[in-house]
Amino acid sequence: MNSDQDTIAAFSTPPGESGIAVMRLSGPDAAAICDRLFIPSSNMFPKPSRMKGYTLAPGIWAGIDDVVLSCFRAPHSYTGEDVFEISCHGGKAVREGILSSALASGARAAGPGEYSRRAFLNGKLDLAAAEAVMDLIEAQAEKQAKAAYRQLKGDLSNAVRVRADQLYAVLAHLEMLLDWDEEEEREEDRITLTSDLKEAESALRHLASTFRSGRVVREGLHVVIAGNPNVGKSSLLNALSGRARAIVSDIPGTTRDTVDIDLTLDGYLLHLTDTAGFACETEDPIELEGIVRAGDALNDADVVLWVLSPPLPERHARYHQEERIDALVTQGIPVLLILGKDDLRSTLSYDDDPVCYAAERFPDLPTLAWSYKDPEALTKLKEKLVTFIEKGFLSTDADRSEGGISEKDRDCDGVASAIDNAEERDLRQEASSGYSTGSEVLITHERHKAAVDRAANLAQQAIRDLERGLSFDLVAITVREAITELSLITGDDVSETLVEMIFNRFCIGK
Amino acid sequence: MPSLAEAMKKEHAFLAGEADIIVVGAGHAGCEAALAAARLGCRVILFTMTLDSLANLPCNPNIGGTAKGQMVREIDALGGEMGRLADEHMIQFRMLNASKGPAVKSPRAQIDRTGYQRGMKHVLESEPNIRLIQQEIVDLLVKEGAVEGVIAATGSLYRASRVILCPGTFMDAEVIIGESVCSSGPDQLAPSRGLGDALKVLGLPTTRFKTGTPGRFHFRSLDTDVMELQHADAVPRPFSFDNEDDPTWRPLAEKPCYITWTTAGTKKLIEENLDRSPLYSGVITGIGPRYCPSIEDKMVKFPDHQRHHVFLEPTGLDTAEMYASGLSSSMPEDVQAGIYKTVPGMESVEVMRPAYAIEYLCVDPTSLTLALETKAVQGLYLAGQINGSSGYEEAAAQGLMAGINAVRSLRGEPPCIIDRSQAYIGVLIDDLVTKGTSEPYRLMTSRAEYRLLLRQDNADARLTPLGREIGLVSDSRWQRFLEKQSAIEQEKSRLQSVRVPKDDFSDRVLEEAGSTPLKHSVNLLSLMKRPELNYDNLALLDPERPDLAPSVRECVEVDIRYEGYIRLEQERVDRFRKLERRLMPENINYKKIRGIRLEARQKLDERRPVSLGQASRISGVSPADIQVLLVWLEQHHRQTKAK
């Protein structure tokens, strides 16, 4: 179970978009973690309890967001421990960035009700309040029981267990050598152990890399429709949503603010945002504000549908548009080019034909020929979005080359490809239903992601230790810890499973 | 079940003896239990079915091994007997896992079996507080849920308010060799009848376990020339602190072991005769240990293995009997004979004792408290294989703790419970009592969460203070212990104060040791932390080094070189202890705590864990249940305080 002594982090504001979000860090290392995360913005003598500044992604040395840091020293805080609150902007990317930086700096993702539990254990809540906490935790226990039951049936914990099994195999091998092998150490054992661990580590990294798309399954896919004015963005939105939500007109700039619609597609939640067109000549303040909001929406998008329609804009506007699309690609946000008004294509000159333009200027981006008059096109678009949710990449049209997997969907270390295909198939078969989306299990919770990440890092450390020539008893400690991390998801009793594994795999006993 | 008063009403009733504590069975558990209790000042009666077979080693002729060797040193540190006797009757010493890290270095010794038995008998006879009696105990005297004594097969009554049962594998035992099944204990000794029924009457949950032992062969019939020789270590090490660093101590002898392998012929023969194996024909229903499979088991479970190890081990100083480790079997004798013919070097072997399987009655250890007292009957303790464990060392450790705790309970003192972070003894007892076992339980280092702390080199440091507190550590041993600890600390601070300059000489020494030159001057202590460096290859940089006892040196080296890992492990232990220290109130009604799942509620109610930590290790109790309990406890605590 979770310790009550480490430092936990979580957003205390509700999930979803909001103007301001507050992340709370509580525990003995809260100050140290903030030291790593937070840079005060001025050298002026700050009020000790409240500071403006910006947060850093550790190791990258790049700012994430301008924030305000508030500090409540133990015991004068909600939990009775050192508490630091980082108030940041409420965008998803920002929230995610700050939380994962905090986790990377040594915090643990807090479980539900954990702040209250700590407050209670540290005597910050009275008995009446304790009753309330009790109810909360009780409810949570029930939820956990249900979750555990779901996991027993398969889905995530099965996928994790397959990975954990690889680690168990390594640990069982180590333990067999330590408990049952009368010979002294052999070099070949070290080599086998190292290569088995490397395999396990890549499998874990791959699993961790499914987190983004997994989150999409849980929270919904943010699809932003963008493009220059009057290219048919709102028609696209209406077609997808099946009703005239956005006002459609021929006057450029009709959509001045962003328009949001939530809808479901094959059981998945989609948040559609229709943006104001990026006209660059407008001086209308409302329209300008719409453009700013469009930019914000783009930064938080999971997928951008960029509509290109004839007639293509003139050089200057075209340049702006290209700049924005390139920026999205650089940020790792997948872009699908919607080549609009396909029904008019036969009447277009080469210069005005979006298909030719896209092929020339954005040969690596997936495209879709679109006409709101063509029901086929709508079916295809929906298929593409579902594929994206399930597989994490945008499929390309048949006539384009395979490519099209955007950078962010690739495994972080590029190791996914190292996994043998046959094994991958097995993994997929193992994992069924639930969070899995038919083809592959996805990690949907930051907490699970953090556990898998830690396990992968520990596996990596064990590999290093083996290579450094450390003794097997020490390597075993690290591998066992990696498994313990995964057992937070699977709920396995590590030592029982291990003993089982040792006996099943090795002929032991004199 | 009669009470003493009822039994006394019978005609010719004979109260043959009285004691503070009665121990039934003089195997490794019983002997340790009786000695501990007697040495703590209690009057003890120790029963054995035959005085000629106490402290028998009916299976493997060795003591120690992985995890077990560490535990023998723990038993010794607490004031037990096993380590001292093993040192006295050692005929081969090996330190297993010497290259695999300090956490798993495990001492193991071949033992002169009859010498060990004689030695134990002598120790018991010399103990003034022990009455050693040959008598079969068949029933218990119980009054109002508390034990009052025992009844012998002859009808004689013995009174004591604490009874420790250590019947080993003798309760309702059956020996099975192929189609032959006969009621017998190990080594053709009579089985114990009656006691098992008494336990069932008392409502203790029982089950039948199975284990086995290979044959014994005459040494002259082995062709050892075709076998691989396995010698003792060049430097033997004693188990006991008493003999540590004593230059006059050495093993009785250095007898080698011999290694050979089964062949394709062995495999074929076993496969052809599998239908005659009682394991597969259904004659044996008891559950056997996975870590000690019979040769037929190995062939069935690991069909891809072409050959299996066979170790031929000496069983004593003055006997030709050789133990064939790896050839445990319950096949009929004719198949056994055929099997031996297929093993190189054993073709014309003379069988002195055939291999056999043994089935026996044991008790589900989850019906015990951590003090090894039955929850059902006050004053009744169980120790050793009756609790589902296997192994001499596991038995001895339980016997020692049961003996200590019986005494403490007599004196009205709280029980002595060793936790999982203190000793293998704690891991063993907690595993048995908290989790139960579905096969004969063998200790393994992998069962310990804090293995790096539970080393053989620091067993004395871990447990001598506790042994002293219990009252089993003599003044002179305590003095020596304190001196050793201070020598270790002194040497560590000396190493910290010795600076190694950055110069040509140090560069050269380090290079020769396979290390890299210094960037600036450092102290020896930090230099020793480099994986490639150790005490030996730094000698040239440490000219002032004092002459240290080998055991001191070993501790210093491990402490320094593994300091980082040890510290991390210690932090984990601190977290673990936090939960162990949260005690559950005795009268807690789990059925009334909302939020605990049904399965967990039943398990908790049945097992009645003493601490939140113990509760968390019960299978079926989830982390969520523990969270609920944690809050409930705190609430309960405050309410009690408010009143």
Interface test with B, best of A108, A117, A178 (most B CBs within 10 A): A178
Query: What pLDDT does A69 receive?
Result: 83
Contact between B102 and A471 using a beta-carbon 8 Å cutoff: yes
Overall size of chain B counted in residues: 643
Q: What is the ipTM of this complex?
A: 0.82
Contacts of B305 in chain A (CB under 8 A): 507
Alpha-carbon distance B279 to B296, whole Å? 9
Q: Does residue A241 share a domain with residue A106?
A: no
Among the partner residues A1, A180, A468, nearest to B531 by beta-carbon distance:
A468
Pair A304, A231 in one domain: yes
Q: Are B73 and B212 in contact (CB under 8 A)?
A: no
**More confident of the two residues A207 and B117:** B117
**Interface contact B293-A491, CB threshold 8 A:** no
Note whether A247 and A352 are same-domain residues.
yes
A332 or A455, which is more confident: A455
- In a domain, residue A506? The reply is no
CB-CB under 8 Å, B445 with A179: yes
Asked whether residue A157 carries a pLDDT value surpassing 90, the answer given is no
- Residue B498 pLDDT > 50, yes or no? yes
Task: Give yes or no for a cis peptide into A75 (omega within 30° of 0).
Answer: yes
**Whole-number Å distance between alpha carbons of A404 and A463:** 34
- The residues near B107 (Cβ < 8 Å, ≥ 6 apart) are B64, B69, B72, B73, B93, B94, B95, B96, B237, B239, B456
Q: Which whole number is the average pLDDT over A446-472?
A: 88
Residue A129, chain B, CB below 8 Å: the answer is no
Residue-by-residue DSSP string for B64-84: E-TTHHHHHHHHHHHT-SHHH
Same domain, A270 and A412: yes
Cβ within 8 Å, pair B292-A491: no
Residues of B in contact with A133 (CB under 8 A): 631
CATH classification at residue A363: 3.40.50.300
B634: Cβ contacts below 8 Å, ≥ 6 apart:
A120, A121, A130
**pLDDT surpassing 50 at residue A451:** yes
Mean pLDDT is highest, among A67-71, B43-47, B612-616, for B43-47
Which residues, listed in sequence order, are joined to residue B95 by a DSSP beta bridge? B107
Neighbours of A344 (CB within 10 A): 14
Q: What is the pLDDT of residue A141?
A: 43
Which stretch of A56-70, B144-158, B402-416, B616-630 has the lowest confidence by average pLDDT? A56-70
Judged against a pLDDT cut of 70, whether residue A343 lies above it is answered with yes
| Domain match, A195 and A298 both | no
Give the closest residue to B597 by CA, choosing from A141, A364, A481, A235. A141
CB–CB contacts below 8 A, A to B: 152
The reply to whether A322 and A368 lie within a common domain is yes
Number of domains in chain A: 3
Residues of A in contact with B103 (CB under 8 A): 473-474
Closest alpha carbon to A193 in A210, A177, A174: A174
Residue A72 predicted with pLDDT over 80? yes
Pick from A176-190, A422-436, B213-227: least confident: A422-436
pLDDT tens-place string over residues B278-327: 887 777 777 777 777 889 888 888 888 888 999 999 999 999 999 999 99
Return all residues near A134 (Cβ < 8 A) that are at least 6 apart: B594, B595, B628, B631, B632, B635
Mean local confidence (pLDDT), B203-209 = 96
- Residue A249 pLDDT class (50, 70, 90 cuts): low
Is A421 among the domain residues? yes
Scanning the structure block, which residue is given the tokens 């396979």? B514
Higher pLDDT, A109 or A481: A481
Residue A37 lies in a domain: yes
Does residue A145 share a domain with residue A29?
no
Q: Is residue A113 part of a domain?
A: yes
pLDDT on residue B469? 97
Last residue of a domain, one of A80, A107, A125: A125
Q: pLDDT value at position A215?
A: 60
Do A173 and A246 belong together in one domain? no
**A484 residue type, one letter:** T
Q: DSSP code of B323?
A: E
Segment 174-233 of chain A within 8 Å of chain B by CB:
175, 177-180, 182, 184-185
CATH of the domain at A58: 3.30.1360.120
Contacts of A120 in chain B (CB under 8 A): 631, 634
d(CA B419, CA A46) in angstroms, rounded, equals 50
Least confident of A440-449, A465-474, B91-100, B169-178: A440-449
Instruction: Locate B430 and state its tokens.
Output: 């907690």
Would you call A467 an interface residue with chain B, using a CB distance cutoff of 8 Å? no
Model confidence at A131, pLDDT cuts 50, 70, 90, reads low
A504: in domain: no
- The reply to whether A56 and A155 lie within a common domain is no
The nearest CA of chain B is from the CA of A337 a distance in Å of: 48
Confidence bin at B239 (pLDDT 50/70/90): very high
Residues A323 and A427 in one domain: yes
Interval B47-100: pLDDT, tens: 999 999 999 999 999 999 999 999 999 999 999 999 999 999 999 999 999 889
Nearest-CA distance A252 → chain B (Å):
57
The yes-or-no verdict on residue A400 having pLDDT over 90 is no
Q: Are A74 and A80 in contact (CB under 8 A)?
A: yes
Lowest pLDDT segment from A92-106, A176-190, A424-438, B522-536: A424-438
Nearest chain A Cα to B634, which residue? A121
More confident residue, B207 or A369: B207
Residue A149 pLDDT > 50, yes or no? no
Give the global pTM.
Answer: 0.75
Read off the pLDDT of residues B439-493 as tens digits, 9 standing for 90 and up. Answer: 999 999 989 999 999 999 999 999 999 999 999 999 999 999 999 999 999 999 9
Segment A251-260 shows an average pLDDT of: 60
Closest by Cβ to B622, choosing from A138, A144, A477:
A144
CATH number of the domain within which A137 lies: 1.20.120.430
pLDDT of residue B335: 95
CA–CA dist B223, B316 (Å, integer)? 19
* A117 and A235 belong to one structural domain: no
Confidence of residue A153 (pLDDT cuts 50, 70, 90): very low
Q: In degrees rounded to 5, what are phi and psi of residue A276? A: -65, 150
The per-residue pLDDT for range A111-127, each reduced to its tens digit, is 766 777 777 677 676 54
Q: What is the mean pLDDT of chain A?
A: 71
In a domain, A16, yes or no: yes
Beta strand A38-40 with A108-109 is unpaired
Calpha distance B634→B631 (Å, rounded): 5
- pLDDT the model gives residue A399: 33
| DSSP characters over B295-317 | HHHHHHH-TT----EEEEEE--S
Do both A236 and A373 map to the same domain?
yes
Average pLDDT over every residue of A424-441: 35
Measured distance CA(B10)–CA(A165) in Å, rounded: 64
> Which A residues 398-417 touch B at CB under 8 Å?
none
Give me the pLDDT at residue B375, please: 95
pLDDT of residue A350: 74
User: Rounded distance, CA A321 to CA A306, Å?
Assistant: 10
- The torsion region of residue B233 among left (phi > 0), alpha (psi -120 to 50) and beta comes to beta
The 10 Å Cβ neighbour count of residue A293 is 16
Q: How far is CA B480 from CA A187, B74, B244, B548, in A?
A: 41, 17, 10, 14
Q: Which residues contact B17 (CB under 8 A, 6 or more apart)?
A: B45, B131, B133, B156, B158, B159
pLDDT of residue B360: 96
Q: Note down the domain range covering A230.
A: 220-433
**Do the Cβ atoms of B631 and A182 come within 8 Å?**
no
**Overall average pLDDT of the A476-502 stretch:** 78
Is position A499 within any domain?
no
Residue A398 pLDDT > 80, yes or no?
no
Pairing of strands A108-109, A20-26: unpaired
From the list B327, B261, B324, the residue with the least C-alpha distance to B298 is B327
Pairing relation of β-strands A108-109 and A8-11?
Answer: parallel
Q: Tens digit of pLDDT for each residue in A276-331?
A: 666 556 666 666 666 676 777 777 788 888 888 887 777 777 888 888 888 888 87
Give the integer Cα–Cα distance in Å for A459 and A480. 9
- Two tokens at A40? 């005060």
Q: State residue A258's pLDDT score.
A: 66
In a domain, A234, yes or no: yes
Chain B contact for A121, CB < 8 A? yes
Among A96, A125, A154, residue at a domain's last position:
A125
At A143, the pLDDT band (50, 70, 90 cuts) reads very low
Q: How confident is the model at residue A437 (pLDDT cuts 50, 70, 90)?
A: very low
- Which range is least confidently modeled, A73-82, A214-223, B239-248? A214-223
Average pLDDT of the residues in A5-33: 82
Higher pLDDT, B566 or A353: B566
Show residues of chain A in contact with B599, CB under 8 Å: none
8 Å CB contact of B594 and A138: yes
- The answer to whether residue B224 scores a pLDDT higher than 70 is yes
**Average pLDDT along chain B:** 93
Token pair of A357 as six digits = 């333009």
What tokens appear for A454 in the block?
């830690």
Q: According to the model, what pLDDT value does residue B174 have?
A: 96
CA distance B241 to B250: 14
